[in-house]
Structure 1
Amino acid sequence: MRAIRRRPRPRSCPIDLAPTSIWDPIRLGIDENACSVDITLIYRNILLAGEPGAGKSGGLNRITAHAALATDCRLWLMDGKRVELGLWRRAAERFVGPDLAEAIDALGELQAEMDRRYDQLDTDGVRQIERQDWTDAIMLVIDELAYYSATAGDKKQRDQFSLLLRDIVARGRAAGIIAVAATQRPSHDIIPVSLRDLFGYRLAFRCTTETSSDIILGHGWHARGYDASTIDPEDRGVGWLLAEGGIPRRMRCTWLTDADIAAVVTAVTS
């Protein structure tokens, strides 16, 4: 397989600030043939993971930018470091920093909203929201998942957070609730199989071991040649995307600078 040659991250410059819809494809970047890589996240969830410095913030920011510009989507953000997604704070309906108790409260509110939506769907006699329906989608974006699920607070709090998140990821799709989670610690204690398998889409950036790669993509993919541990450490933003088609696709995420993000936030809040 021909590798993506090392070069600076591609950029969408100038960034398109036109309003979008969450029902439209999100452009993540390019593949090794320089073809556009697009995904649609309505009715889907996506997990992004890789070692520190692997470039997962590129993918995370591209997804967040699309949701921020979407006129039919509300952003809920959680960031254990505060500063990565903090740039998007003004565009978000809800922002949670490194506060596990607040994160649990927010997930509880989102779970209640999910249940309310299912009550409405049941009343309407339909199984899922549609593009023309009565409510906006909600995108929950969590960066530094490990902070909330394995580091902060006590075990009872961490377990409560994980249970709430698992329920939202498992049941939220038909109610228009999209979960996007990212971590730089791809290990079984952070991403148990029971949670990982609920994420229909997965994006594995550079990992230190083939085991870590399989924790993200799924068991056995490295043996079939899809191994994020073989990505050159200097190839930031390059990863294996498991999405439509069911076979991982090697790609490079488009990069957004802080100025690009500021331009998007200004466009959607002014």
Structure 2
Amino acid sequence: MTRPFRRRRNRRACAPLSIYDPIHFGIDENGLPVEVTLMYRNLLDGGEPGSGKSSLLNTIIAHVALCSDARLWLFDGKTVELGLWEDVADVFVGNNIGHALDKLRELQAEMDMRYRQLHAVKRRKIVRADGLDVIVCVIDELAFYSVTIGTKEEQEEFRTLVRDLVARGRAAGIIVIAATQRPSADIIPTSLRDLFGFRVAFRCTTDSSSDIILAVGWAKEGYSARNIRPEDIGVGFILAEGGIPRRFKAAYLTDAQIEAVIATALRMRGIDPAA
């Protein structure tokens, strides 16, 4: 059957990874590796400032940057949290709500176009053999774009677009990774949280904040990120659909290691890192 999908961009054959591969997140309490396959899943990453959210984001972005079949769309309200990755991002949005909305609308249009293509060939989702780039959209941080910057109308449109992408994007090869240091009901309503297949809670100040990320009731069962000690940076709970929270220590990349990954990713794209 002829598939009408656009083929992925030409990248060097040395690309070591695929977005369909598991991503190494860290190790659990027993020293066993924690690996997550994000294809067809979205991820919510929350916790207080300095708790380890950025470490996990860097690990995910590093994997995606080295994939031959994925594109990076980065939204960074501070511009410095994800700024190191700008050279390997296909889209980089800083603290401009207008730019953020333009790019989310563009991503929504891409999603709708892909669903039209799937409908044309009577398929439910894209697969590796289609040769279509998966788009990984990383947003850090949700609260900046949804309650801090812009008008109320712009904030509402941002929330609506993100919710639509999280709800419908997976099968079309659009994955959303959203992070927040303000896990509250106004930032992460239940209707949005429950759409994320993976949820990660790093240290939170209250049981309710932990439950807002993982789901109401887990704190009473003994899975509360409030109980993580402040000095245990990078320790959190990861919850997958249908599972129970698993305590783990997130992998950490130094700036030098990030720069090495970026250099490799640039060479994959035919760009001289020293240029």
**TM above 0.5, one fold?**
yes
Instruction: Please list the CA deviations of residues 190-221 of structure 1 after superposition, one character each: whole Å capped at 9, or x if unmatched.
Output: 11111111111100000000000000000100
Structure 1 partner of 2:80: 83
Query: What residue is the counterpart of 1:101 in the other structure?
Result: 98
Structure 2, unaligned stretches of length 5 or more?
Answer: 1-13, 268-275
Are 2:107 and 1:110 equivalent residues in the alignment?
yes
Tell me the distance in 2 between the aligned counterparts of 1:58 and 1:125.
Answer: 40
Give deviations 1:38-86, integer Å, cap 9, x for gaps.
0000000000000011011111111111111110000000001110111
Count of residues in Structure 1 that have an aligned counterpart in Structure 2: 254
Q: Are residues 1:140 and 2:116 paired? A: no
Which one of the candidate residues 188, 192, 196 is aligned to 1:191? 188
Note the C-alpha offset of 1:258: 1.1
Give the TM-score normalised by the residue count of structure 2: 0.91
| Counterpart residue number, 1:228 | 225
SS in 2 for 1:88: helix
Q: Residue 75 of structure 2: SS of its match in structure 1? A: strand
Distance 1:226 1:80 in 2: 30
**4+ residue runs over 6 A deviation:** none
Match of 2:169 among 166, 169, 172: 172
- Following superposition, the deviation at residue 245 of structure 1 comes to 5.2
- What residue in structure 2 maps to residue 62 of structure 1? 59
Once residues 171 and 117 of structure 2 are traced to their aligned partners in structure 1, the CA distance between those partners, rounded to angstroms, is: 12
Other structure's SS at 1:226 match: coil
Give the Cα separation in 2 of the matches to 1:125 and 1:167: 22
Identify the residue that residue 268 of structure 1 maps to in structure 2. 265
Residue 179 of structure 2 aligns to a residue whose secondary structure is strand
TM-score under structure 1 normalisation? 0.92
1:25 to partner: Cα distance = 0.1
The letter for the 2-side match of 1:213 is S
**SS of match in other structure, 1:71:** coil
Alignment of 1:195-214 (within 5 A): 195-214=192-211
What is the rounded CA distance, in whole Å, between the counterparts of 2:227 and 2:120 in structure 1?
A: 51
CA-based RMSD: 1.1
Report the CA distance between 1:260 and its aligned residue.
1.1
Deviation sequence 1:220-267 (CA, Å, 0-9, x none): 000011000000011000000002651100000000111111111111
Corresponding residue of 1:218: 215
Matched with 1:122 is 119
What CA distance in whole angstroms lies between the structure 2 residues aligned with 1:134 and 1:233? 44
AA partner of residue 108 (structure 2): Q
* 2:58 maps to 1:74: no
Q: Equivalents in 2 of 1:101, 1:252: separation in Å?
A: 36
Structure 1 partner of 2:271 = none
- Matches of 1:200 and 1:144 in 2, distance apart? 19
Would you say the 8 A contact 1:39–1:243 is kept in 2?
no
Q: Which runs of 5+ in 1 are unaligned?
A: 1-16
* Equivalent residue in structure 2 for 1:247, among 237, 244, 249: 244
- Measure the CA separation in 1 of the matches of 2:229 and 2:80: 26
CA distance, structure 1, for counterparts of residue 242 and residue 253 of structure 2: 27
Cα pair distance change 1:180/1:248, threshold 3 Å: same
1:155 aligns to 2:159 (yes or no): no
Q: Aligned partners of 2:131 and 2:65: how far apart in 1?
A: 19
Deviates more, 1:238-247 or 1:102-111: 238-247
Structure 1 counterpart of 2:97, which letter? L
2:128 paired residue among 127, 131, 137: 131
CA distance in structure 2 between the partners assigned to 1:242 and 1:42 by the alignment: 16
Shift of 1:134: 3.6
> 2:211–2:224: 8 Å Cα contact kept in structure 1?
yes
